[in-house]
Amino acid sequence: MWQGLYQELKDRNFIVIAIALDSCGADAVRQWIRATEPTPPPMLELMGWGERERAAAGAPTYPCLIDEKHVVAELYNIVNVPMAVWIDERGHIVRPAESAGACDAFRKLNLADFSIPPDAAAQAKAARTAYFNAIRDWVINGEKSAYALPDNEARGRIAGLSEQDARANTLFRLGQYLFAQGHREDALKYLGEARRLRPDSWAIARQSWEIEEAGKASGPDFWAAVQALGDRPYYPPAKL
């Protein structure tokens, strides 16, 4: 769906670099990048994709990279998907990692019949539209754009890692390595410990669930964890 935005802006010295955080590698992501089946419309609606994006959809022509070890997540402190970082022509970060057009509207999904209340669909679309408009503004106006944050503001938005977070990242790395080597049972021990130490990283939690069992990342454990957030957001809204 980002393809439409990319098409629109690609002649303005702009590129999207998609990073798939996937321990299972190319095989896990291929069907999403080169889709053979269209995504069901209700799912698109819930993700805030409007007619315009759907009409412009197609196989991405921007680079889609595969990050089996979650290297980029560690380097940029990315804790959920979709999250994005804006980097200017000189390699300077003008917006650190934040929710990329996603919002908590998905929590209003009726799990019994998968129906979407109209207000949730509208909320999802508004968040998506606002975020994409911010990107357009930056690509056209560059550093004069109000969305290109001054350094102090950008720095202030970086939460930083605690010692416990860093320890969780290390356990996650160990678990992923053992999983890649075929030591699945041992891997799960460390992945579970990483999840407990860093419960605010949905990237760690959902990846480790998915390693445990395909589909678990969006199964009952996931929904229970989302419910347990109460008033706290799953996607902290990007402060545009």
Partner 1 sequence: MSATILYERGEYSAADAHGEGDDLWLGLDDLRAATGWELKPEGACLGERCVPIPHGRDAEFVREGGRRFNLAALARLLGNPIARDDRHGVWAFGEAPAARNQALRSLDAPDFTLPDLDGRMHSLADYRGMKRILMAWASW
Residues 70-129 that bind partner 1 (CB under 8 A): 71-78, 81-93, 96-97, 100
Count of other CB atoms within 10 angstroms of residue 120? 21
- Closest approach of Cβ 158 to partner 1, in Å? 5
Which amino acid would we find at residue 179?
F
Comparison of 8 and 22: residue with beta carbon closer to partner 1: 22
Question: Which of 37-45, 108-116, 166-174, 226-234 is the region at the interface with partner 1 (rule: CB under 8 A)?
Answer: 166-174
How many other β-carbons are positioned within 10 Å of the β-carbon of residue 220?
A: 9
Residues 38-57 interacting with partner 1 (rule: CB under 8 A): none
Q: Find the radius of gyration of the CA atoms of the chain.
A: 18
Cα separation, 25 vs 22, in Å, equals: 5
Which region among 18-26, 105-113, 119-127, 231-239 touches partner 1 (by CB under 8 A)? 18-26
Q: Which of residues 126-145 bind partner 1 (CB under 8 A)?
A: 135, 138-139, 142
Distance from the Cα of residue 28 to its chain's centroid = 16
The residues pairing with 67 across neighbouring beta strands, listed in sequence order, are 21
Matching residue, tokens 């299972």: 24
209 counts as binding partner 1 under rule CB under 8 A: yes
CA distance 106 to 38: 20
In the bound complex, what is the minimum distance in angstroms from residue 9's beta carbon to partner 1?
A: 9
Q: Identify which of residues 70 and 117 has a Cβ nearer to partner 1 in the complex.
A: 70
Looking at 12-20, 48-56, 109-117, 224-232, which segment touches partner 1 (CB under 8 A)? 12-20
Minimum separation from the CB atom of position 38 to partner 1 (A): 16
Is-cis flag, bond preceding 82, omega within 30? yes
The C-alpha atoms of residue 203 and residue 211 are separated, in whole angstroms, by: 12
Among 29, 46, 103, 121, indicate the residue that binds partner 1 (CB under 8 A).
29
